[in-house]
Amino acid sequence: MNDRLEKQYNDFERAYENLRTGAKEAKTELEIDGVIKRFELCYETSWKLIKTYLEYQGIICKTPRICFKEAFNNDLINNVDTWLKMIDDRNLLVHTYTFEQSRKIFEHINEEFLNAFKNLKDTVKKRLSKEN
């Protein structure tokens, strides 16, 4: 296995576990804000993992949107619409943050995004173990 790909996977897995734990335990406003920041990190590491994995397969993609579509086409993710929604939510957080939007995104994290990240983690782990 490629060292860069393994590092990307490990970084993503750590970010996912931190997000999952935080989302499960968040009760206060400060803790919810921390989960939202963890989502941003998990999002960034997930698309870099996808980009690197696809490069390893000979598929070059330059943006998250293109990478997510290619990941769907290559069965790395199972719902491209959820991943495209992540792009929109992440952009809202970075460019037009409001308290109300952040709480809606916290709901999206718990209702959709955690499952999408878990699916990616499990799929890539399974594929990497087959290659070793």
For the chain, which residues make up each domain, given as ranges? 3-124
DSSP state of 27: -
User: Residues near 36 by Cβ (< 8 Å), separated by ≥ 6?
Assistant: 93, 102, 105, 106, 109
Q: 3-124 belongs to which homologous superfamily?
A: Nucleotidyltransferases  domain 2 (1.20.120.330)
Q: How many CB atoms lie within 10 A of CB 94?
A: 9
Give pLDDT tens digits for 20-78. Answer: 999 999 999 999 999 999 999 999 999 999 999 999 999 999 999 999 999 999 999 99
pLDDT category, 131, cuts 50, 70, 90? confident
What confidence score (pLDDT) does residue 112 get? 97
Distances 29 to 34, 40, 96, 101, 117 between C-alpha atoms, Å:
9, 17, 19, 14, 23
Mean pLDDT of 113-119: 98
Is the torsion defined by CA of 22, 27, 28, 33 positive or negative? positive
Whole-structure pTM value: 0.94
**Using the 8-state DSSP alphabet, how is residue 74 labeled?**
T
What tokens appear for 41 in the block?
A: 């990190």
Q: Is the pLDDT of residue 132 over 70?
A: no
Question: Whole-angstrom Cα distance, residue 46 to residue 14?
Answer: 11
Closest CA relative to residue 80, chosen from 129, 47, 125, 58: 47
Residue 98: φ, ψ to 5°:
-135, 155
pLDDT in tens, 81-101: 999 999 999 999 988 888 999
Q: Tokens 């809606």 correspond to what residue? A: 104
